[in-house]
Amino acid sequence: MKTQKANPIRRGQKPRARKKDNVLVMQAAGDDKKIQTVTTRLRSSLKITDVRVIVTCPDRNYVLVKVLTSEPGLYGVGDATLNGRELAVAATLEKHIAPMLIGRDPQQVEDIWQCLYRAPYWRAGPVQMTALAGIDLALWDIKGKLAGMPVYQLLGGRTRRGVLAYTHATGNNFDETEDAVRRAMEYGFKAVRAQVAIPGLEGTYGTSLRKTSEETAGRVDQQADLPTTEVFEPGPYLRTIPKLFEHLRLKLGDEVELLHDVHQKLSPLEAARLAHDLEPYRLFFLEDPVPPEAKDGLRLIRQRSATPIAMGEIIHSPLDFVPLITERLIDYLRCAVTHIGGLTVARKLASLAEFYQVKTAWHGPADVAPPAHAASVHLDLAIQNFGIQELVFFPDVAREVIPGGPLFQGGYMDVEDSPGLGTDVDEELARKYPYRRSYLPLARRKDGSVHDW
Ligand code: CS2
Ligand code: MG
């Protein structure tokens, strides 16, 4: 694994400014004393001058936020992508949030967070919390650039050499899923999420080989411009999944960490049964076993099994996590940093969780952009109670439009030691890939009634 310097700027040493760093003014100032004067002046007069919202579709839709400041070249980039509701977030940012920010000091990250959370009066919700996160990430990016430090340094500094990552493996049958897990292991992964198509059901969440699968969801070139439909039945699902993990443990042994995502499809009683039936196969965690509306049902799962539970990618009000943490109903906090309101609030949740031995597993899918992945990894590196990080590899076209982001090697993720979050957006290139309407799929039971996807 790559080892990195703990701190890029030692005391008495001039800040190193690369061409694209936004601390050039500090470098130009010459000796340390002048640097200090310029920095102090810059800090006391810094203002937000513009908030640009960039909606782009390099392979799938992303919403980027660029916060510009009165210091030429100093800006921050955040991610505010909400799969399937991109334009609602973009409008919130442009029409409601941007006017409140012009002229404000971008260094007041906490105060701006509190204003944007409380000022609308209407609390939380995925659209508002994602918009707020986009701004929050951009402000942390600016703060890092001003300090000449990567964001994890501002969060307390490195507590680990790297961040344990997991990827997805999927197949139409047990053998195909086993092969996919093996491929991930050969690539260096020590933890893999395993999903399989359920016999008799058309399309199953998490299986990439069907048109309506999770891998293609939101990927516009493969999707109709109205929601596609999958079929779900709990019976066959509950019979198949324990057999999948029995197969995987038998073929792959005990060492690889295995995970599974239920994607909020079960009732508490069904989920309790699944968690119990999976216990012999020692999952790293079982993800989102019930929908958020049924989160009280996590108590039933706890009574029935010791399978670790991760929950939260569709919970968007930070306060909803408090009972889950303080009653120890979950083992892994699994909201997306970018859908819960950003680093400012995610680190508070992580701190609360630390006191209850609950760890983090921030949501890291392909449908949030590199600044969101980078923010998660910066936080993972700094907190004590990090658990695991979901990792995706972006296609080249997305990496060209939104450069930078975490690195992966030997099963672990890391970030470059550049100031801020270490990501950017090429606005000109982004314009070449305009937004295209896309939806997440819908699920129905065999009798036609609507179910959670
Ligand atoms: C999934 C997501 O990564 C995961 O765990 O649950 O891929 C989810 O389906 C998407 O983020 C929905 O947009
Ligand atoms: Mg999930």
* CB-CB contact of 43 with 74 (8 Å): no
Q: Which of 168, 247, 260, 263 is catalytic?
A: 263
Radius of gyration of the chain (CA): 22
In eight-state DSSP terms, residue 292 is: G
Q: What angle do CA 85, 87, 92 make, to 5 degrees?
A: 105
* CB-CB contact of 19 with 27 (8 Å): no
**CA end-to-end span of the chain, whole Å?**
38
Q: What angle do CA 75, 78, 80 make, to 5 degrees?
A: 145
Give CA–CA dist 92/114, Å, rounded.
Answer: 16
196-254 pLDDT, tens digit per residue, is: 999 988 667 766 544 444 444 454 544 556 888 889 999 999 999 999 999 999 999 99
In eight-state DSSP terms, residue 12 is: T
In eight-state DSSP terms, residue 213 is: S
CATH code, residues 163-215+226-418:
3.20.20.120
Long-range CB contacts for residues 415-419, cutoff 8 Å, separation at least 24 = 415/150, 415/152, 415/374, 415/377, 415/378, 415/381, 416/150, 417/4, 417/5, 417/8, 417/150, 418/18, 418/21, 418/150, 419/21, 419/22, 419/23, 419/144, 419/145, 419/147, 419/148, 419/149, 419/150
> For 332, phi and psi rounded to 5 degrees?
-130, 130
Given the structure tokens 């929050």, which residue do they identify?
A: 136
How far does the centroid of ligand 1 lie from the alpha carbon of residue 233, in Å? 20
Q: What is the pLDDT of residue 42?
A: 83
Continuous segment of H or E residues that includes residue 309: strand 309-311
In eight-state DSSP terms, residue 384 is: S
Give the pair of three-digit tokens for residue 103: 């002229």
Q: What is the pLDDT of residue 35?
A: 62
Residue nearest to atom 8 of ligand 1 (CA): 365
Residue nearest to atom 4 of ligand 1 (CA): 365
* CB-CB contact of 236 with 264 (8 Å): no
Residues with CB under 6 A from ligand 1: 83, 214, 218, 261, 263, 313, 365, 367, 390, 440
439 flagged as catalytic: no
Residue nearest to atom 13 of ligand 1 (CA): 83
Give CA–CA dist 66/79, Å, rounded.
Answer: 9
Q: What is the pLDDT of residue 38?
A: 67
Give the pair of three-digit tokens for residue 230: 């999958």
Write the CB contacts of 377 (distance below 8 Å, at least 6 apart in sequence).
152, 163, 389, 406, 413, 414, 415
Residue nearest to atom 11 of ligand 1 (CA): 365
Per the DSSP assignment, residues forming a β-bridge with 9 are: none
How far does the centroid of ligand 2 lie from the alpha carbon of residue 150, in Å? 28
Three-state DSSP class for 196?
Answer: strand
How far does the centroid of ligand 1 lie from the alpha carbon of residue 365, in Å? 6
Q: Which of 75, 205, 412, 433 is catalytic?
A: 205
Ligand nearest to the CA of 311: 2
Nearest to 262 by CA among 328, 340, 204: 204
- Which residues, given as ranges, of the chain have pLDDT below 70? 1-38, 202-203, 206-225
* CB-CB contact of 416 with 407 (8 Å): yes
Continuous segment of H or E residues that includes residue 53: strand 48-56
Give CA–CA dist 331/310, Å, rounded.
Answer: 6
Give CA–CA dist 363/383, Å, rounded.
Answer: 16
How far does the centroid of ligand 2 lie from the alpha carbon of residue 285, in Å? 11
Three-state DSSP class for 45?
Answer: helix
Residue type, 353: A
| Ligand 1 atom having least distance to the Cα of 205 | 9
pTM summary value: 0.90
263 flagged as catalytic: yes
CB burial of residue 259 (10 Å; 0-12, 13-18, 19+) = buried
Give CA–CA dist 165/380, Å, rounded.
Answer: 11
Residue nearest to atom 10 of ligand 1 (CA): 365
Give CA–CA dist 103/106, Å, rounded.
Answer: 9
Q: What is the pLDDT of residue 214?
A: 46
Give CA–CA dist 182/193, Å, rounded.
Answer: 12
* CB-CB contact of 362 with 334 (8 Å): yes
Nearest to 389 by CA among 356, 369, 414, 355: 414
β-pair type (412-414, 450-451)? unpaired
Ligand nearest to the CA of 126: 1
| Ligand 1 atom having least distance to the Cα of 453 | 9
| Ligand 1 atom having least distance to the Cα of 84 | 13
